[in-house]
A = this chain, B = another copy of it.
């Protein structure tokens, strides 16, 4: 499949804060032993101690650059693709850039793209449209997420599910490359707009008028309604995504779904008759790292050799909003 634009992911880098086992989390917060792995499917996740999103994002970029053999001066834009942030203002990409070592003199453009859990997918599509080998030769997408701050310890389902972490990917326009960006797309189903929400902290429940309240300021998820909606809409979205292509989802080599939850991944795996090993997962090791989940799987499966150059890869996920999005590319 050589349609599409000659865009290659030339390197990825990741940064993970301290590892936290489910056992120790269960002990500390009085959750029954074994509950986390059984219910949320998460054995361990990583959680910040001293780190900020800016710090983790900058370290992930530095690692990706090292592998890419490029330097920051070769990068035309940094896209922060995430749902969480260090400050209300300025935008997170400018914070991440400012934390890069020895890069203060560079004037790399910085842009934030936020489609919550789908941010990496959206950024991948937008970066691929920008990259032209002229004005934009290399773009870094960085998904740095801190979920641990906004979780309610009394809501075991979400508290044991999420993790923190950062991944950066260097995308390059290269006419001599065999890699291809083929297609991206997204749809928003507004009937699910309040199924996943953090109500407090924005302008609607402004912190001046609504002081901190564990209920109001924590992540809320209506898991049952969410799964029901995803089950109906995912096949519809996927079928329509592949409609104008000469292949279908089963013809891809690798599928990386968003690591939403144990039951979410089970649901996804039952939608089609996937080959063994075709759908990649890492929920058990990292939990749901919001927008960093998909690139984390991508990073590790490339490192392990499960994804090889020439492989047709499909990234697909759901997000708060409620949206479904996907990106198809040849690695």
Known contacts A146-B203, A207-B212; decide if A116 and B135 are in contact (CB<8 Å). Answer: no
Chain B residues whose C-beta falls within 8 Å of the C-beta of A238 in the assembled complex: none
Check B107 against A115 for contact (C-beta < 8 Å).
no
User: Which residues of chain A in 184-221 are interfacial with respect to chain B, using CB atoms and an 8 Å cutoff?
Assistant: 185-191, 193, 196-208, 211-212, 217, 219
| Whole-angstrom CA separation of A112 from B191 in the bound complex | 19
Check B203 against A89 for contact (C-beta < 8 Å).
no
Counting CB contacts under 8 A, is A321 at the interface?
A: yes
User: Which residues of chain A in 73-120 are interfacial with respect to chain B, using CB atoms and an 8 Å cutoff?
Assistant: 77, 83-91, 93-95, 97-98, 103-104, 106-116
| Whole-angstrom CA separation of A111 from B184 in the bound complex | 13
Check A85 against B203 for contact (C-beta < 8 Å).
yes
Among A59-67, A122-130, A265-273, A304-312, which stretch is in contact with chain B? A122-130
Copies in the complex: 2
- Closest CB-CB distance, A120 to chain B, in whole Å? 13
Check B88 against A150 for contact (C-beta < 8 Å).
yes
Check B320 against A89 for contact (C-beta < 8 Å).
yes
Counting CB contacts under 8 A, is A19 at the interface?
A: no
Chain B residues whose C-beta falls within 8 Å of the C-beta of A186 in the assembled complex: 77, 109-111
Partner of A203, one of B53, B125, B129, B135: B53
Chain B residues whose C-beta falls within 8 Å of the C-beta of A53 in the assembled complex: 203
Counting CB contacts under 8 A, is A149 at the interface?
A: yes
Partner of A109, one of B97, B108, B187, B217: B187
Counting CB contacts under 8 A, is A52 at the interface?
A: yes
Counting CB contacts under 8 A, is A47 at the interface?
A: no
Check A203 against B86 for contact (C-beta < 8 Å).
yes
Counting CB contacts under 8 A, is A323 at the interface?
A: yes
Chain B residues whose C-beta falls within 8 Å of the C-beta of A93 in the assembled complex: 188, 321
Known contacts A115-B110, A122-B111, A203-B52; decide if A90 and B196 are in contact (CB<8 Å). Answer: yes
Counting CB contacts under 8 A, is A261 at the interface?
A: no
Check A104 against B198 for contact (C-beta < 8 Å).
no
Check A149 against B208 for contact (C-beta < 8 Å).
yes
Check A201 against B203 for contact (C-beta < 8 Å).
no
Check A190 against B129 for contact (C-beta < 8 Å).
no
Check B202 against A87 for contact (C-beta < 8 Å).
yes
Counting CB contacts under 8 A, is A319 at the interface?
A: yes
Check A323 against B94 for contact (C-beta < 8 Å).
yes
Known contacts A129-B126, A193-B95; decide if A217 and B208 are in contact (CB<8 Å). Answer: yes
Check B116 against A323 for contact (C-beta < 8 Å).
no
Q: Could you pull out 21 A-B pairs where Cβ atoms are within 8 angstroms?
A: A83-B91, A85-B202, A86-B202, A87-B197, A88-B150, A90-B193, A90-B196, A90-B197, A90-B319, A90-B322, A93-B321, A98-B193, A103-B190, A104-B191, A107-B188, A110-B186, A110-B323, A114-B114, A126-B130, A129-B129, A135-B183
Chain A residues in contact with chain B, CB under 8 A?
52-53, 77, 83-91, 93-95, 97-98, 103-104, 106-116, 122, 125-126, 129-130, 135, 146, 149-150, 183, 185-191, 193, 196-208, 211-212, 217, 219, 319-323, 325
Nearest 9 Cβ contacts at the A-B interface: A94-B321, A90-B320, A107-B187, A88-B198, A112-B114, A129-B129, A98-B193, A109-B186, A98-B190
